[in-house]
Amino acid sequence: MRPRRDRHVEISAWTHEEVSVNGTPDRRDERTEERAVYIISVAAELAGVHPQTLRMYERRGLLAPKRTSGNTRRYSERDIARIQMIQELTQRDGVSLAGVKLFIEMREQLALMRRRTEELERELLDQMRRRRAGAEIVLLRSLRALPWDETAP
């Protein structure tokens, strides 16, 4: 049995959260990553799998390549990275394809929740700025001493 590597480092590499120098997402890199330019044989070679494997991943809902007007599959850099992630999870970690699908869905939900949290935080900060300049938020704990808290004011 092979020793397991640190998953935190590997999984973070799969998130594709590229950030520019000023801390905002780099849309130029994102567009390049999303462009579906590779035909199935090239995508399979880049990912190190057989083209039939890519077809099977698509049938199982793990992959959704873009289609040309002639119905030919086209894969992006993001698709290639996803294929490599699927291979790592199935080959190295022994995760079933059903488990990989669940993993992908949970990861997408987490990304959605993170974006929503950031949006709500921005809204809260905006509301706080619009209030009076002298107003400040006071924690409830600082107003009332709790019997078990000896350090409260």
What pLDDT, in 10s, does the model give residues 54-102? 999 999 999 999 999 999 999 999 999 999 999 999 999 999 999 999 9
- Model pLDDT, residue 130: 78
| Per-residue model confidence (pLDDT) at position 9 | 35
Task: State yes or no: pLDDT of 52 exceeds 50.
Answer: yes
Do 21 and 11 contact (CB within 8 A), yes or no?
no
pLDDT value at residue 94: 95
CA distances from 115 to 17, 112, 118, 128 (A): 12, 5, 5, 20
- What is the predicted pLDDT for the residue at 144? 60
Q: State the Cα–Cα distance between residues 114 and 124, nearest whole angstrom.
A: 15
> What is the pLDDT at residue 17?
42
Q: What are the angstrom distances between the C-alpha of 61 and each of 14, 31, 40, 41?
A: 18, 23, 16, 19
> What CATH architecture applies to the domain 7-97?
Orthogonal Bundle (1.10)
Bigger pLDDT: 48 vs 136: 48
What residues are paired with 75 via a beta bridge? 38
How many whole angstroms separate alpha carbon 46 and alpha carbon 41?
A: 9
